[in-house]
Every structure is written in C-alpha cells, then in structure tokens.
Structure 1
Amino acid sequence: MTVTYRTAITADAAALATIGADTFIATFGHLYDPADLAIFLKSHSVEAWAKELNDRAFEVRVAELGGRLVGYAKLGPPHLPFEPRGEAAELRQLYVIEEVKGQGVARALIDWVIERARDRRADHLYLSVFTDNHRARRFYEKLGFEAEGTYAFMVGNHADEDIVMRLKL
C-alpha cells in the first residue's frame, strides 16, 4: 500500500485527536504521572482540533495508509516563548505512528511544512523538541534546523526541557 497525503478537513478532528494522543502516550507516556498526562491530553481533544481546523492561521497535512491516518503535521503562527526573527511560522506538531516510521512519511510531511511556510512568506520556521528525543533532534538537524535555546514544556504540572529550533528559509 502507498501512503497518500492531503489537507486535513474538519471531519478529521476525531482521528487527529486520537493519533495525537496515542502517539504522545506511546512515545512519552511512561515519563508522566497519569494526572499530568490527562491534563496535557486535553490539548488533543476533538473540540480543540475542530477549532484549529477551522482557523485559517493553521494548516494541517495528513498522511493516510489504507484509509487510516498514520501521521500529520500542523503549521501555525509562532506561539513558543521566544522572540521570533523576521516573519516566522511554527511547526506545531509532527506525529507519525510507529509502524510507518522510517518510511519517509515524516520527511514528506516536513517538506510540505517548509514549502507552506515559504508560501506564507516566512523567513524562519520554528519548532520545539523534547531534549531527550534524540531521533527527532537528529531528523531536524539533518534538515538544517539549529538550536535557539530551551524552555519549560509543561505536561500538566510537570516541566520538561524542550529545545526551540529554527530553520532559516
């Protein structure tokens, strides 16, 4: 089967909520107290997704395999606690399920994000990545992203150190 890509629509909100929560739990869930994790996962609610999917400030690209979502990337305005340079856009999330990792899905999604950021006339693309997510950090570094600094990424009441990275477009 071939992975296909398309722009997300409002009807995708439930599937996006599920893949976002499931992927976060699978990757990082063991690090957190269940109460903190539950607070954080509210950001992956169907309602939150529906709101963003209907907001022109955001664009979401989905990857599908056999009619099932297997990944997505969300592009939006900067919201990280930093002073962006010039015109900026932010990769808000890039999630790919485990079974398709290493098959080029993340690369196809990030290529789309970079292209759309340029189309939006952004000079810089920002993202944040968990300090201990070495696989993701290597992926972004190979694309030319550079570390700008760190900040406290909150999962409920638990603070993790995330790295803010920037790509000059």
Structure 2
Amino acid sequence: MDWRLRRATPADIAALSLVAGATFLEAFAGILDGADIVAHVTRNSSPDAFARYMGQGAIANLAEAEAGAAPLGYTLLTAPDLPVAPKPGDIELKRIYALFPTHGTGLGPALMAQAIADAQEAGHRRLLLGVYGGNRRAQRFYEKQGFTVAGTRRFLVGATWHDDLIYARSL
C-alpha cells in the first residue's frame, strides 16, 4: 500500500478522529473489554478531543493512502501529561498509530521520524510516550527507535485500569 505523510491541520480533525478510533480498536480488540474500548475512543478520540488538542498547540501528522487520501495513521505531540519527573524541553508523543494493512511498509518508522523531527524543530529535548504494558510489539518498536523505560503509570481505559510503561528518548 502506498502512503504519504503530511502535517495535519484543523481541517483534518475528522480524519484524525476516524483513524484514531479505528487503530485503537484494531490494536486492542481481544485484549481490552469492548465496552471499555468504545468508552475510551468516545472520550479520547472524538473530533472534539482532537479540536482541543489542536487548540492547545498539539502537533499532528496524518498518513494517507496515495490513492484517494484515506487516513491510515497519525501522530500527536502534546504537552507532557505523564507521571515522570518533568525536564525542561519535554514533549509527549501522545499517539502514534498506523492501520494494520500498513504494517511492514515503513510507515511506523516514518511516523516516528517525523514526530522526532517535529519535536526537535519545536526546540524540545526529550520525547516521552506511554505504552500498554502488555504490548510487547510496540515496546520493541520504541526500543529500536532509541527509547528506554523511564517509569510506569496506571492508565484507565473505559472502566478498567491497566499498567503502562513510560518511555523516554533524548532528542
């Protein structure tokens, strides 16, 4: 599948919301409770949620299919909201997701490279992210990208608490 990556604008909020819900469902169906997934996506991946992120200065990138521009993946950089000791210049990679058909196409590394470049361009010195503690595949990806474990957190999805790892990478 051919794709392209570009900076998202407020005009892309509906596409970001759509791909956010789809990728979260795809990543966690069979792992998390279905009702919890629906509640989480409704609260955190709605167009209103993305409008708030963008209104607060978030930096988002959108991956699209070359043919037809269907949304395939995205990144979202925000002010940190993680339980680690903050350092000057921190930024959080709040989201990085790509739809399953794009796995193995280089989209994941391209999304990460763009998020890193965006963080550096904005003057940040450390990139933080949280990842589900049971998602070993994602953890290996982040470790390959130079991230190391910097802490843990309890993360609420719907009505169920989960243990996450917090990763950090100097920029």
Gapped regions of structure 1 (runs ≥ 5): none
Question: 1:29: how far off?
Answer: 2.7
Which residue does 1:51 correspond to in 2? 52
TM-score by length of 2: 0.91
Q: Is the 2:126–2:168 Cα contact (8 Å) retained in structure 1?
A: yes
- Classify the secondary structure of the residue corresponding to 1:31: coil
Which residue does 1:16 correspond to in 2? 16
Which residue does 2:106 correspond to in 1? 104
User: 5 Å matches for 1:1-169?
Assistant: 2-41=2-41, 42-56=43-57, 58-65=58-65, 66=67, 67-169=69-171
Question: 1:23: how far off?
Answer: 1.1
Q: Is the 1:8–1:53 Cα contact (8 Å) retained in structure 2?
A: no
In structure 2, C-alpha distance between the alignment counterparts of 1:95 and 1:136, rounded to whole Å? 10
Question: 1:149: how far off?
Answer: 1.5
In structure 2, C-alpha distance between the alignment counterparts of 1:2 and 1:29, rounded to whole Å? 26
**Given residue 111 of structure 2, which amino acid in structure 1 is its aligned partner?**
L
Q: Is the 1:5–1:63 Cα contact (8 Å) retained in structure 2?
A: yes
Identity over the aligned pairs, expressed in percent?
Answer: 33
Gapped regions of structure 2 (runs ≥ 5): none
In structure 2, C-alpha distance between the alignment counterparts of 1:74 and 1:142, rounded to whole Å? 20
In structure 1, C-alpha distance between the alignment counterparts of 2:53 and 2:80, rounded to whole Å? 14
> What is the RMSD computed on CA atoms of the aligned residues?
1.4
Number of matched pairs:
168
